[in-house]
Amino acid sequence: MDADVPLLIPEINSDHLKVLDRQKSGRGFSTGYIVTNPNCSTIIMALALAPLHEKFGIEAVIATTLQAVSGAGYPGVPSLDVVDNVLPFIDGEEPKMESETRKILGRLGTNSFENAPFAVSAQCHRVNVADGHMVAVRVKLAKRTSIEEVREALTSYTSVPQQLKLHTAPKHPILVRDEKDRPQPRMDRDAGGGMSVTVGRLFPDSVFDYRFVVLGHNTVRGAAGAAILNLELLQARGLLHGKTARENTAPVEARVR
């Protein structure tokens, strides 16, 4: 969350890499720099929010998670916490989802990141699932939008990794399913090689504008796959291979969209 470190999701905020010039000079790094993965639940939800925020503007988000045990690593979650049980607490997860989402969907100003101008509320739960984080989302939009527009914005979403044909980039970052009982962790977590998120249960909401459920593979899109996609983006941008930013022919700013 440092002001000079991008929380990178290549589809969403590759332009945040521009902060690296400032990071390197500010920290006196001659080689290397810091780019981080967001929290796994944040990545999965942010992917579904990105096209909505881009096209319609988001005014508020209420997110409730049902997260897999692999998110805590190994040995991680004691089995007694999830056998015939739900654990309504994941250390640090709720504040992370609330703050990281706003940074990721925010914009990089001249001197600092500006958070996206909406509040996020997160309640996080651990459930008896091996892999696959599910997030039940309500979203309030800045402008009047039909459900067809919302659906279209989600299904048609592609971005930098798809344009650059990065090796690990899924063809469709967001899949939308219309069956009444999808997405489900065991059925949908491996969509797009684990790099797509799946949205379902998209409906008008009785309090906010829309509600939906989004699911993603927490150890692929939410962790290892995210790191690899970050690397592939950095490589495509000419930011790897031991070169410092200065040794590249152009400043970082010119190399990101």
Write out the residues near its own copies by the rule CB under 8 A. 60-62, 64, 66, 69-70, 74-89, 98, 119-121, 123, 125, 127-130, 134, 136, 138, 180-187, 200-201, 205-208, 211, 213
Distance CA 146, CA 22 (A): 41
Least Å distance, CB 204 to its own copies, is 10
Nearer to its own copies by Cβ, of 32 and 78: the residue is 78
Q: How far is the CB of 178 from its own copies (least distance, A)?
A: 12
- Per the listing, tokens 């509320």 go with 121
User: Which among 16, 40, 124, 217 is annotated as catalytic?
Assistant: 40
Which amino acid is it at 243? Answer: K
Residue closer to its own copies by CB (options 108, 191) is 191
Sheet holding 174-176, edge to edge: 119-123, 58-66, 133-141, 210-216, 197-204, 174-176
Catalytic, 124? Answer no
Q: How many CB atoms lie within 10 A of CB 231?
A: 17
Least spacing, CB of residue 3 vs its own copies, in Å: 21
Instruction: Name the residue nearer to its own copies (CB basis): 45 or 229.
Output: 45
- Which C-beta is closer to its own copies: that of 66 or that of 191? 66
Is residue 40 annotated as part of the catalytic site, yes or no? yes
CB of 13 to its own copies, least distance (A): 21
CB 154 within 8 A of CB 210: no
DSSP letter at 224 equals I
Tokens matching residue 136: 């039940």
Q: What angle do CA 163, 153, 103 make, to 5 degrees?
A: 75
Among 121, 178, 172, 140, CA closest to 56: 140
Give the nearest distance from C-beta 18 to its own copies in angstroms: 28
Nearer to its own copies, 77 or 234 (CB): 77
Phi first, then psi: give them for residue 197, nearest 5 degrees: -105, 155
Of residues 16, 53, 124, 133, which has the active-site annotation? 133
Active site residues: 40, 133
